[in-house]
Each structure stands twice: as structure tokens, then as C-alpha cells.
Structure 1
Amino acid sequence: MSDEEDEKPRHFHEMELDDRILKAIAKLGWLQPTMIQEKAIPLLLEGKDVLVRARTGSGKTAAFAIPVIQRILCSKKLATEQAIKALILAPSKELCHQICGVVKDLTYKCSREVRCIDIAPQVDLSVQKPLLVEKPDIVVGTPARTLQHLKAGNLNLKKSLEMVVVDEADLVFSFGYEDEIKELMGYMPKIYQAILASATLSNDVKNLKSLILHNPVTLKLEEPDLAPASQLTHYHLYAEEMDKAAILCSLLKLHLIRGKTIIFVNTVDKCYKIKLFLEQFAIPTCVLNSELPAAIRCHSVNQFNQGIYDIIVASDEKSLEDPGTKKEEPAKKSKRKKDKESGVSRGIDFQCVANVINFDFPQDTQAYIHRAGRTARGNNQGSVLSFVSLKEKQLLEKVEKKIRQGENDESVFKTYQFKLNEIEAFRYRAKDAWKAVTRIAVREARLKEIKMEIFNCQKLKSYFEDNPTDLNILRHDKALHTVKIQQHLADVPEYIVPPTLKSLTGIARKGKRKREHFNTSGSSSSKFEVKKSNPLLSMQFEGFKKKKKKQNT
């Protein structure tokens, strides 16, 4: 009986948490803890140092945030003065912003007792100094930014700090924070509780473990890197560059992809090329990359999560940089300035993503896992469609071997059934639109968007502070118009739609809502719900033909 009781999942109310935390959890709609939360929270509440290893999307943030808040609430009962009790370090500004948001959600009922600030934004130190003088209970920041404040005397951690958390620990050294972490240790008290949260247990994590943790409990869950096949479906489709563009365009215009979608590419230039290409077909997209200001990136993710727009094109060049390579190599690849504290495929919490499309196949297995981890989070269904060129076939095989470990012999990647000859008209249009996006157009688009976003941020900053509800007017999917727009491409005439798909797409319906599915001033999420069974529909034309024949007989 005792073994059976141990196997039963423990609920939040059985963890002796403060009622205010439980009410916030209920408001968030979390019915029961995830596996990592169930195992980690009790250990952290006991005061143990813990190394947490769990896959992306498993709930690691809440697993350390809840014990941190609980400990602060308990210490408040005996405290005589306000003090900084917890420091949370993360490798990117986006992740710091996300962590701070989770903490604020969990302190919904005790926001006066537990205060949290994010010091990651790159504003002048003097702007954030008054916030730190008030000694918030929790400080969230990148290692470099935290060190700046410590050196400036704005932070004093030795007297009061009780907890240190390092999130995405396997990225901290690869983002170039090794020296900062070592220097930070000189500003820490001798005794504190430490938590490392990571998606992998790499050599970098082991080095970080020896620096920060003291006799830790290593919590490594026996779970796959990705959601199971019943929740996450992997598709692949062999196609070269021009065919990729034609297929992507037809999938979006024929509504074969529904719900929120992230399109991953390998470079920043490709981000803008895809945006300008889709712009010609009146398909609004938002770009997310390390060149944009941190505030813009965070705001873009928030608007995407809120459903204000449905398609985001992301480059995750950070995941392509091998920490073991020489520093000269990345410098040769691009002279453009990138934000060191930015990451896309890792860390950012994209919510309710139905589809991930790898327009460019990732360069390694880990990159694929982290991209695919953006969808099928929690209990949601998700799909990943990867375009694979002939040169990338070996990469696909490597990824499949990694994912298949512990699974049966069946292929993980399903072939996405697509007949190019059925969309010849789309292919013809796409070819012209793709060629129209020249290198000069891409360069102009990059400059135009960065200037536009910075201008909007600076111009409207004070207004948004007074009117936070009006922040939605700052959209990030606006057309750049560096390529000549051909108005006829926005419409999908009935004659170019494959006969087998007319009933599915609704193109042939009477009283068709013209261009309603992708209006440049709004989102499509409310008009087309994600199919629960499989968000990424497959173009299996032969199946539709057979159904029609049966109906005729």
C-alpha cells in the first residue's frame, strides 16, 4: 500500500505551501504539478541544493520560483527589515523577463510582501539604482548585468542573500558568462541555498555545479527530450530552396497550417527574406532575432502569446555557435552587432504554439530538440514540419537516431505528403516573389525595422507608462515594403486551388470572406481554431480523391 501511495502524484495543496501561493496557482489554472515540480519543490522547501535536469517545457521555472516565494514569505514573519533574499540568474534578457513574469503571477495575492525586479534591460545603471535601493525580495538578471550593479555598489548580497538560482545553466558558459560567474562568487555570502536548472547535463553544467552548489541533490528525470508521439508529431519533406518557399506559401494561403506558428531559419538575413516574401502574399509575420532591442523582443513574444498575431519568424543563431570553436570563426561569419544576451530557440516561453516549421533544418540534434520544444508544451498538441534539402539528409538521420532512443523501430519522422504538381500556379507565383527579395531589399528591411522599432520604443515609452493598456498599438508584424507589392498575390483565385483541397480550405464556399484569414491589420487565431487531433494538416490528395469516388458511387 505504501508503494502505491508513493506513486500517486502529489498535488500543490499537499506541499504545505502558503495559501496565497495556492490561490495564485489556481488562478493560473494549474490543476496539478508537473513531474519536475512534484519532485523538486519538496526538496527545495527542505533547504537542499538541487541540480534540476528536465526537458524544455516541463515547468522548471515554477519548480524553483514556488520554493523561493515560499521561503521569502516564511522569513517575512520574523524579519525586522527589508532585504534582498533571492538572486535569479539567466543567460538572456528574454528569459529574465519571462522569469520575472512567472514570479509576479505566483505573487498575485502577496505582491506587497514579495517584490521582484528585472535588472536585465540595458538602461543606465542609475535608472535601476532607486529600485535596488528599496531592496526588492527577488532580483532577476543576467550575470553580466548583475555584476555591473555589484561593482557600482547598487547591490549588496553578502548580508542578506539566502537563495541563488541559475536557470538554463547549460547555456550560461556558452553565452560567454564564465568569467562573470566566477567573479560573482566573490560577492556571495558563504552560506546560501543554490539551484541549477538545465535542459541538459553538459560539461559546462558540471563546471558550474562545482562553482555554485554544495553537496547537491541531482534530480534527473527519466523522460525523453521531447513530448511523446501521441502529443508531438514530426514531419519531414524533402525540398530545395525555391520549392520550400512555394510550399510554405501554399500551406499558409490554403489554411493547411492553423494556429500559432514559429518558422525557424538559421540566419538573420533569412528571417527578413521570409518576412518580405510572405508580405507579398498579404501574410503578416513578425521577426525575432538578436539584432532587435531586448524590449522589442520581449514585447513581440508577449503579443505572440496573446494571439495578436500568429506567425513569427525566428533565427536562433546562438544555438549554432559551438562554444568549443575559436572566437575568430563567429566573427568572420558576420560583422553585424548581435546582442550577446539574446536567445530564441532556448529559454523563451512561447505559449500555445501549434506548429514549428524548420524552413532551414537545424545544424545539430540539440538545436532540433530545442526548436521542437517550443510546441507541445504542457498538455497541448503540437507538430513540427522540417524542410530538408538533399545536403541535410544526414542531419535528419542523426536527429532521428537521437529521438528514437528508447522508442520502437518505427520512424519518428512521418513523410509529409505533398505533390508539387498540384500547386504549380502557387509555385509560379512564389518563384517571382522569392526572386524579388534581393540582398539589397533584405539589408534595407533590416535597417528599416530596427530604426522603426527603436523610434517607436523611445517615442512612446512615456505614453505607455501612463497608458499600459494601449501597448498593443505597437505591433511588430507591420509590412516593411522594401519589395514592390503586387496586390493580386494577396488573393487566392479558385482556379489555382487543387480540386482535392477546395472543400477542405473553404475556397469554393459561397459568400467567401475575402482575405479574412490573413488580414494585415489583425490575427487569424480567433477565426481558425487549431485542430485538436493534429494542428498540421497533411496534403494527401489521393485520399481525398478516393473519398470523392465513394461518394459518387
Structure 2
Amino acid sequence: MTTFADLGLSPNLLKSLERLGFDTPTPIQKQAIPQVLAGHDLMGLAQTGTGKTAAFGLPLLNRILDIGHPPQPRTVRALIMAPTRELVAQIADHLTQFTKGTPVKVLKVIGGASLHKQAEALARGADVLVATPGRLIDLLERRALTLDATGYLVLDEADQMLDMGFIHLLRQIARYLPHKRQTLMFSATMPKLIDEIADAYLRNPVKVAANPPGKTADRIEQAVHFTNQGDKAKLLEDYLLKHPGEAALVFNRTKHGAEKLMKLLVSWGFSAGSIHGNKSQNHRERTLAAFRAGELDVLVATDVAARGIDIPLVRHVYNYDLPNVPDNYVHRIGRTARAGASGKAVAFCAPAEMDELKAIEKVTGQPLPVIGGAPYEGATARPSHAPRRPGQDKPQGPRKSRPQSARSQGDKPHGAKPQGAKPGQRSDGKPAGQRSSRPAQPKVAASGNRPPRRQPR
């Protein structure tokens, strides 16, 4: 049996791993750590929940500990980039735990936080900087830091960065980095543009893989429930009442839809919160902390959270809306069955989402067991050019993006807001005065007093 000591890590890191209860390395850690310690560039293919942070973080920290002196002002020895604020925070927290009791300094910079305070912290330099691409560009343009002394670069969740339109920012950041460096790139899927990023950043990389693309965790019990779009809220209520007190994560496709659903659940007596791109960073952090502490039983989220939540207590994942990008399904349900636990994932499929379901089953390589309703014969997905419902946000699929738009969104993964409607026309493309055919949802109580929580039937 391979141990962390067998991989060549320093005694200081081995003590931290023992204190944290890490005893046996995961497959991706067994493959990646020796290659990184040997100085090779690396391309890693691994799904969420496989231990990627330790796979790249431990060997980098090991090499930094060998330097023996603090970094120079405004310099960064190792740069780790991730697509979302939640994932940046998760990586930084893990690295801080690994380096407890050592002089290694770990900083994080994300959109939605004080740019001035982040610049002040970087003035003293950092051994490891974890950053979202947009905020990193902001700081580089302010000359709050320099990457001239950066010898290590990690691109985590590179495929998600492409989905979120950060490709132009990545090219821009590459110009600030020294040519002589060690680069590691991890991705859960392998779209064609990943090869372009690999060619630009990596030199003769070693390739390692822990799971084939699209493979989901064996401990996740998956299923699909067919239902009309207007019946999804009540269906979700039924599932939540079957498992009172068990942490549930609900994924909605849009920011507006996630917020509306959260308020509806609260009005029905559930302890619920939401995180999405329209929430401030402080609010997102507080909500995640409350969910992690068990103060909230239900968290409604968009795909901004699909790769940034590492909470072992999550037992249920509900795909209230099926994702536009089928690979995101794998990352969504990967929020359960963590740390050796088991979990359940149920997809709610409306008639207009049959094409999304077929795409998901193609990616995962298996049909989802049906636990409710029946497949819709001849149903097809709404064409991308069809008018959206009033207030519906733009889908979160792959899109082209400009550097300025990515920065202005504060590292939000959502695309630009829809353009205004033409005169005499509503935002959903219908003539003014025409009523929507969307089934009405129960109104959220206007009072601030939350009704008593419902008991299981």
C-alpha cells in the first residue's frame, strides 16, 4: 500500500496530513505528486472529489518549504487560478491547513472583496496566491504584484474556465508569467480548447488520469423524475419532506430562478438559502458557512457553486433544472458522496429538457433510472433562439467573452444580461400585454415572519 511518506513529502507536511486524518493517497495523488516533485509539467484529468487540491498543493508546498527564505515584496512564488470564488476559497483553506506551523504564506484574491485590502496584503509578498482570473488582472494592472518570480503555475478546473469565458484572460495573464516555470493543469473534461490552453502553457507535460471523462462517483445513487415544469416546486417539496433535517443542494439554471425558488421554500417553512452571481461575496460566504454548520437544510444554487462546495454532510442533490452543458451534471452531483459517504441525486426532467437528459446520459455512459413519471414521446428541447420566459437569465453554457466583460462581472460565471426588448415588445419576445403561459407559482409571503416548518407527512 502506498503512503504519503512513500511519495517523498517532507516531514512537516506529513505531520500536517496525520493531524488532518489523511492516511492513504487517492489515485490522482499517487500519480501526480511524484511527477510534480520531479519538476515535470503535468496535465491531470480528474473528476471533482478525487483529491486534486492535495495532488497539486502538497508537492508545490514541499518545494516552497525547501527555499528557506520569505518572498520579496509584491512577488508570488506559486500562482493557482480557479474559475469561481467558492473554489478559490476552498483551495486556499486546504493549503492553509496543510501549512499550519510552517512559515509558508497563502493568500487568496477574488472579485467582490476589497481590492485595496488585497493589494495591501500582496505588498508583503506571498508564497502561494490563489486567484480568480478577473481579479488577478485587476491587481496586475494596478501593479499591486508582479509575476516575474512565479516559478509555479496551477490551472484548476480549466474546462470550467473555458465554459465561463475566461480564455482571453488566461492568454492575457500568460504574458505576465516568466517562460521558465513549472505548470500544472487539471480538468474534469477534455473539450477541444483545452488542447489550445495546454499548448500555450505546458511544455512536454506528463499526463495522468484518475477517472475517465463523465464518470460519476460509484457511491452516488442517481435517478430521474419526469414532471411538468410548473410542477417542479411541489415535487421538490415532497422530496425534501421525505428527508427532514438532511442537507440538500438544489441546482437551478438561472440566478433569478434560484432566488425565486429559495424564497418559495422559505415561505413553505424550510430552512433555505441561496448562492448565485447576484449575491455579494460576503453574503455567499455567510450562506455557505451556515449550510456547512447545519443551520440551513437546503441550499439553492446555480452552477457557480457546482465546483466550489466541499461539504461532506450533503446527502441529496436535486437538479431542479437540467444543465445546458451536460458535463456540469457530473460536477453538480459530485457535491454529494464526499469523504467516503454515500449520496443521492435526482434530476427533474420537464418535456422541454429531454434533449438535455439524453446529452447527460451520453456523457455518463448510462441511462438514469426512472423513479417517477414517464419519458415524453417526441418531446424536444427548446431551440436556443426561442424567446425566454420573463425574467429568465441567459443559460450558463459555453460562450464567447471579452476580458472587460469578465472583469466587470467580478468573476461571475454568468453571461451578459439580455438586451432590452424592442418597442412594444416584452423582454421574452412576446407582444406587450400578452400573458405568459407559464404556470403560476405560489406567492412568497411578504411578511418577514417565517411560518412554522412543515413536518413530514
- Which TM-score applies when normalising by structure 1? 0.65
- Is contact 2:110–2:132 with CA below 8 Å preserved after alignment? yes
Listed as ranges, the gaps of 5+ residues in structure 2 are 375-389, 392-442
* Whole-angstrom distance in 1 between the partners of 2:221 and 2:152: 39
- Is contact 1:288–1:312 with CA below 8 Å preserved after alignment? yes
Q: Tell me the C-alpha RMSD between the 2 structures.
A: 2.8
- Is contact 2:266–2:450 with CA below 8 Å preserved after alignment? no
* Whole-angstrom distance in 1 between the partners of 2:206 and 2:330: 26
Residue matched to 2:281: 294
* Structure 1 counterpart SS, 2:175: helix
Residue matched to 1:27: 19
Task: Find 2:129's aligned residue among 113, 119, 139.
Answer: 139
- Is contact 1:90–1:166 with CA below 8 Å preserved after alignment? yes
* Whole-angstrom distance in 2 between the partners of 1:356 and 1:119: 29
| Amino acid in the other structure paired with 1:270 | G
* Whole-angstrom distance in 2 between the partners of 1:209 and 1:384: 33
* Structure 2 counterpart SS, 1:274: helix
* Whole-angstrom distance in 1 between the partners of 2:161 and 2:257: 27
* Structure 1 counterpart SS, 2:221: strand
Residue matched to 2:32: 40
Q: Output one character per residue of 1:346-394: Cα deviation in whole Å (capped at 9) or x when no partner.
A: 3443433211011222234212222112112342101111111233234
1:258 Cα offset (Å): 5.3
| Amino acid in the other structure paired with 1:279 | V
- Which TM-score applies when normalising by structure 2? 0.78
* Whole-angstrom distance in 1 between the partners of 2:359 and 2:159: 22
1:130 Cα offset (Å): 2.5
Query: For this pair of structures, how many residues does the alignment match?
Result: 390
1:31 Cα offset (Å): 2.4
CA gap of 1:483–1:164, structure 2 versus 1, over 3 A, is same
- Is contact 1:94–1:347 with CA below 8 Å preserved after alignment? yes
Residue matched to 1:216: 205
* Structure 2 counterpart SS, 1:313: strand
* Whole-angstrom distance in 2 between the partners of 1:81 and 1:257: 53
Residue matched to 1:266: 253
1:293 Cα offset (Å): 1.1
Q: Establish whether residue 163 from structure 1 lines up as the match of residue 163 from structure 2.
A: no
| Amino acid in the other structure paired with 2:21 | G
Residue matched to 2:80: 88
CA gap of 1:382–1:488, structure 2 versus 1, over 3 A, is closer
Q: 1:534-553, aligned counterparts within 5 Å?
A: none
- Is contact 1:89–1:165 with CA below 8 Å preserved after alignment? yes
- Is contact 1:87–1:138 with CA below 8 Å preserved after alignment? yes
* Structure 2 counterpart SS, 1:27: helix
Residue matched to 2:315: 354
- Is contact 1:280–1:486 with CA below 8 Å preserved after alignment? no
1:286 Cα offset (Å): 0.3
Q: Establish whether residue 239 from structure 1 lines up as the match of residue 227 from structure 2.
A: yes
* Structure 1 counterpart SS, 2:67: helix
Identity, in percent, stands at 28
| Amino acid in the other structure paired with 1:388 | C
Residue matched to 2:161: 172
Residue matched to 2:178: 189
CA gap of 1:122–1:391, structure 2 versus 1, over 3 A, is closer
Q: Output one character per residue of 1:376-427: Cα deviation in whole Å (capped at 9) or x when no partner.
A: 234210111111123323432332233236xxxxxx42232589xxxxxxxx
- Is contact 1:355–1:375 with CA below 8 Å preserved after alignment? yes
CA gap of 1:25–1:241, structure 2 versus 1, over 3 A, is same
1:228 Cα offset (Å): 4.5
Q: 1:452-467, aligned counterparts within 5 Å?
A: none
| Amino acid in the other structure paired with 1:44 | V
Residue matched to 2:423: none
- Is contact 1:121–1:295 with CA below 8 Å preserved after alignment? no
Q: 1:50-129, aligned counterparts within 5 Å?
A: 50-76=42-68, 84-110=76-102, 113-129=103-119
- Is contact 2:217–2:337 with CA below 8 Å preserved after alignment? no
| Amino acid in the other structure paired with 1:271 | A
Residue matched to 1:366: 327
* Whole-angstrom distance in 2 between the partners of 1:401 and 1:185: 35
| Amino acid in the other structure paired with 1:119 | V
Q: Output one character per residue of 1:188-224: Cα deviation in whole Å (capped at 9) or x when no partner.
A: 2221111111111222221111111111112133446
Q: Output one character per residue of 1:240-274: Cα deviation in whole Å (capped at 9) or x when no partner.
A: 13432222223323x33652110111122221222
* Whole-angstrom distance in 1 between the partners of 2:262 and 2:125: 44
Residue matched to 1:415: 370
- Is contact 1:49–1:213 with CA below 8 Å preserved after alignment? yes
| Worse overlay, 141-150 or 481-490 | 481-490
| Amino acid in the other structure paired with 1:246 | K
* Whole-angstrom distance in 2 between the partners of 1:232 and 1:347: 18
Q: Establish whether residue 250 from structure 1 lines up as the match of residue 238 from structure 2.
A: yes
CA gap of 1:486–1:81, structure 2 versus 1, over 3 A, is closer
CA gap of 1:121–1:404, structure 2 versus 1, over 3 A, is closer
Choose between structure 1 and 2: higher helix proportion: 1
Q: Establish whether residue 309 from structure 1 lines up as the match of residue 296 from structure 2.
A: yes
| Amino acid in the other structure paired with 2:116 | S
- Is contact 1:235–1:414 with CA below 8 Å preserved after alignment? yes
* Whole-angstrom distance in 2 between the partners of 1:86 and 1:242: 49
1:55 Cα offset (Å): 0.9
Residue matched to 2:341: 380
* Whole-angstrom distance in 1 between the partners of 2:16 and 2:345: 33
- Is contact 1:97–1:298 with CA below 8 Å preserved after alignment? no
* Whole-angstrom distance in 1 between the partners of 2:253 and 2:71: 53
